[in-house]
A and B are shown apart, each in its own frame.
Chain A
Amino acid sequence: MSRRRSKAKTRRIVLPDTVNEPISEASLTGGSVRQIQELIDLLRHNNLTELEFERQGIRIRVRHELATKPFTTAVQESVPAPSQQPAHHAIAMTPVVEGATGFVTVTSPIVGTFYRSPSPDADPYVEEGDSVKKGQVLCIVEAMKLMNEIESEVDGRIVKILLESTKSVEYGQALFLIDPKTAS
């Protein structure tokens, strides 16, 4: 059974067997990386610009930008729908839909080191799934020994925390995905 997207011309592509192996978790294990590589190869081989694949609550989109950018890969955990579609083999090609999910990305306003908690032994400021309010501190970005508190610009729910503590961040780097529509 194929999954159709509205407004798109779809093309049915049969996936190689390896892609049918279960995708264990949202975190990238060796097997998942191989599956993503297979998708990238498939995209190149068939001269596609975008490929989206979903099963078992995991959606993988691979896009080839026409400018001199490298391949981008987005792995998203989808919210389980009430009626699950059965696992399928075919995938559909979709037009590029920017911001389709409507999530707000919290980006770093400075260069520094990212910390999820105020100190090493303290609890993180937020976890995935938490509701947050505008102005609430989400994390620290430390720059030159100064701890800068990064606040949320919106009310909403933390969908995804995009990196771990002690990672370096640059200006504009994405830190959190917040769903502004599901503030409690």
Chain B
Amino acid sequence: MFKKVLIANRGEIALRVIRACKELGIKTVAIHSEADALALHVRVADEKVCVGPAESALSYRNIPNVLSAAEITGVDAIHPGYGFLSENAHFAEVCESIGIKFIGPSSENIAMMGDKAKAREIVAMRGLPVTPGSPGELQSEEDALLAAQKIGFPVIIKASAGGGGRGMRVVNKAEDLGRAFQAAQAEAKSTFGNDGVYLERYFLEPRHIEVQILADNQGRVIHLGERDCSIQRRHQKLVEETPSPVVDDKLRREIGRVAVEAVKAAHYRNVGTVEFLLDKDRNFYFMEVNTRIQVEHPITEMVTGIDLIKEQIRLAAGHALSIRQQDVVLTGHSMECRINAEDPEKFTPSPGVITKYSPPGGFGVRVDSAMETGSTVVPYYDSMIAKLITHGRDRLECMARMRRALSECVIEGIKTTLPLHRRILDDPDFQKGHVSTTFLERFLG
């Protein structure tokens, strides 16, 4: 087992990893920017190293400084958290080359899954369901039309180098395709510097279903059930829950089997999440693999009783999986609300000093946050400041607890999305579990 680990991250996830390390008897090194010198994650670690000024490119994502910090503190492993360097294949590779274990998949795993077209190809070749789409980039309007007619309208044209909802165009009829094709190419060129586009079937009211997997170095892979992350705004998740209200045991076994197979095909190691789209008829399609621990991992922990960060660290240290698939039991229901330091209606960032921070508590309530009264929310990083997680015997109790917890939660001095979460929990469609990825856009009007 590792003796000392450096946590290459900040905020709530750094705190989460430090907590797991403490429980495993591992010494911890926190890195921080100058803006985070007084942050909670820095105070609870055994050692700390300032790695740069506020800007994350010069500090948390500054590979030479992060590696140098690892060298001078003599750590044997680095946990990258999520975001920052967690899916940087080059960083994982450099760690490997200097003999510091990167707590996550291998650099090859990250590189392969980071190429979304390649990942789909690998999965498709195994005969597993992928989102119907053009085989590669579209060379011309004619190409696009042929592909669209084969796949079936509506289709969505997407930028190959893209993401974040940019360089996308939905096309409902063949007559609109030419114009949409040109527009998508132009936007892709101006946003990503690359006008390559491809085509996929467009699902009208899809649900975002993702499966947590764990893989050890001997090739054993298990899944820990699915998470439904359909409540999103501009592709940013706001509320997640497990199990999904529309996934029954049979479907869960199916999706779980496909997720495990997809990951085995890629010789994947450590933790990962396989993302699927679920259409209205409950057909599911592979989208991509996220090669990191995810923000919403706590809801899986609540229903399985498994500490995912400790498992992740154990797997990285070369231990075999301690659980078999048949031992994985999902108990009850869990939800998470991501509380952001933003205006709850305009979503503009709201940095500043938290004059009062009073998180909720009680049975079935968990808060993952590095905030305290007097903490300063700085504008340089992601705006998420707390994750409010609840667990209940069933979805009704879980929601009742979440409503109760949201009502108790006090964060003053800055604006937060707490009011939005309270409204979501009061929504009849949400309460019935009738949501899709378009829910929030409609909800916000």
Contacts and interface: CB of A to CB of B under 8 A. Distances in A.
Nearest to B73: A168
A113 interface: yes
Given A111-B49, A144-B64, A170 B69 contact: yes
Contacts, number: 47
A143 B66 CA distance: 10
Contacts of B52: 171
Contact of A111 (B34, B68, B374): B68
B409 interface: no
B72 A113 contact: yes
B98 A171 contact: no
B38 A171 contact: no
B64 A143 contact: yes
A139 to B, nearest CB: 16
Given A111-B49, A111-B51, A170-B51, A144 B67 contact: yes
Nearest to A141: B68
Nearest to B43: A68
Nearest to B63: A144
Contact of A173 (B38, B50, B68): B50
Contacts of A69: 38
Interface residues of B, number: 18
Interface in A35-90: 67-69
B64 A110 contact: yes
Interface string A144-183: 1000000000000000000000001011110000000000
Interface in B6-50: 34, 38, 49-50
B72 A171 contact: no
A168 B51 contact: no
A111 B65 contact: yes
A7 B34 CA distance: 33
Contact of B51 (A67, A68, A113, A171): A171
Contacts of B50: 111, 170-173
A67 B68 contact: no
Contacts of A68: 38, 374
Max chain A Cβ within 10 angstroms of own Cβ: one of B50, B68, B69, B73:
B68
A144 B71 contact: yes
A147 B261 CA distance: 47
Max chain B Cβ within 10 angstroms of own Cβ: one of A67, A171, A173:
A171
Closest 3 A/B residue pairs (Cβ)? A143-B68, A111-B68, A168-B72
Interface of B: 34, 38, 49-53, 59, 64-65, 67-69, 71-73, 98, 374
21 contacts: A68-B374, A69-B38, A110-B68, A111-B50, A111-B51, A111-B65, A111-B68, A111-B72, A143-B65, A143-B68, A143-B71, A144-B64, A144-B67, A144-B68, A144-B71, A144-B98, A168-B72, A170-B49, A171-B34, A171-B52, A171-B59
Given A112-B71, A112-B72, 9 more contacts: A110-B68, A111-B68, A111-B72, A143-B71, A168-B73, A170-B51, A171-B51, A171-B53, A172-B50
